[in-house]
């Protein structure tokens, strides 16, 4: 079974919280408090995302997209890359034991 590019990476994909913390907030001149207020969420929620202890949810992706003129899909795609990589690396041995199911070529 072929592996995809994400599972063969040596380094974990960048968490969307790091992108917000290192690039987006400084460029926008925003603090955690200001972003939380702007998005209508708690400062704790923002802090946990920025420190990569909380994922970007579909709700948060919509809020971030609206605030920064991006798309929810962009934020969710970043989060999905992290989630897929983390899960694959945590359960790699378990996944390797799963045998491929033979399928009919006529289907």
**DSSP character for 62?**
H
Residue 86 lies inside a defined structural domain of this protein: yes
Is 26 in contact with 18 (CB distance < 8 Å)? no
Q: Encode the chain (107 residues) as per-residue pLDDT tens digits.
A: 345 656 567 899 999 999 999 999 999 999 999 999 999 999 999 999 999 999 999 999 999 999 999 999 999 999 999 999 999 999 999 999 999 999 887 65
Q: What is the pLDDT of residue 2?
A: 45
Q: What is the pLDDT of residue 10?
A: 85
The residue to which tokens 């041995």 are assigned: 93
Number of domains in the chain: 1
C-alpha torsion 16→18→21→27, nearest 10:
-70
Residue 45 lies inside a defined structural domain of this protein: yes
Q: What is the pLDDT of residue 6?
A: 62
Q: What is the pLDDT of residue 76?
A: 98
Residue 68 lies inside a defined structural domain of this protein: yes
Residue 66 lies inside a defined structural domain of this protein: yes
The residue to which tokens 């006529």 are assigned: 106
- Residue 32 sits in a domain whose CATH number is 1.10.260.40
Residue-number span of the structural domain to which 58 is assigned: 16-96
Q: What is the pLDDT of residue 106?
A: 65
């Amino acid at each position: 079974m072929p592996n995809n590019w994400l599972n063969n990476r040596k380094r974990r994909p960048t968490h969307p919280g790091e992108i917000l913390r290192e690039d987006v907030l400084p460029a926008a001149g925003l603090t955690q408090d200001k972003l939380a207020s702007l998005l209508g969420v708690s400062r704790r929620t923002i802090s946990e995302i920025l420190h990569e202890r909380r994922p970007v949810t579909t709700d948060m992706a919509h809020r971030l997209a609206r605030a920064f003129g991006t798309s929810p899909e962009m934020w969710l795609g970043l989060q999905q890359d992290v989630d897929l990589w983390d899960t694959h690396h945590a359960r790699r041995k378990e996944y390797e034991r799963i045998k491929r199911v033979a399928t009919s070529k006529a289907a």
